[in-house]
Amino acid sequence: MNEENELLLRENKDRFVLLPIKYPKVWEMYKRAEASFWTSEEIDLTEDMRHWETMTEGERYFISHVLAFFAASDGIVNENLAINFMSEVQIPEARCFYGFQIMMENIHSETYAQLIDTYTKDPAEKDRLFHAIDTIPCIQRKAEWALRWINNGSFAERLIAFAAVEGIFFSGSFCSIFWLKKRGLCRD
């Protein structure tokens, strides 16, 4: 598809005017996202820390790497949203959604970083996990793949690439978190 024909990207003199809502389905998606708002301060890690201590070394290693992936990857997703999608998309309703998504990605990133900071006592290991896109090869490869799509490809290709990041990379990692919850561990 030619990007000039893409409704989301077409020049819109009303891109700074929110009302009246012209795209109610997009607005509804934004409002649903808004209703799911939470902050990292709402999470009580007291019981999770007790659960963490009962895990095997292998389980802690696995979960630490999942958290490192999340912490690093949310920053990449945010960069793509801020650099590309927020500046390219011309529909105010979609821009509201992307703005909210950026804020939520910040909260997620903060939460994953807090989990790493809370669970990991060794400063060198903590630093390695915080810098996972440079220090953990499997996370580095995923980051390189995602970063390649920030500046390359059409809007549609980049949209699909970041849907893959969210839908494949993140979903696979979320399965491990649900595995913990299923076992009654780290419920928050």
**Degrees (nearest 5) of the Cα angle 105, 100, 64?**
10
Residue 112 known to be catalytic? yes
Considering 30, 98, 112, 119, which one is annotated as catalytic? 112
What distance in Å separates the CA atoms of residue 69 and residue 132, rounded to the nearest whole number? 7
Runs of H (alpha helix) within 5-136: 24-35, 46-54, 57-80, 86-88, 92-119, 123-130, 132-135
Residues annotated catalytic, as ranges: 112
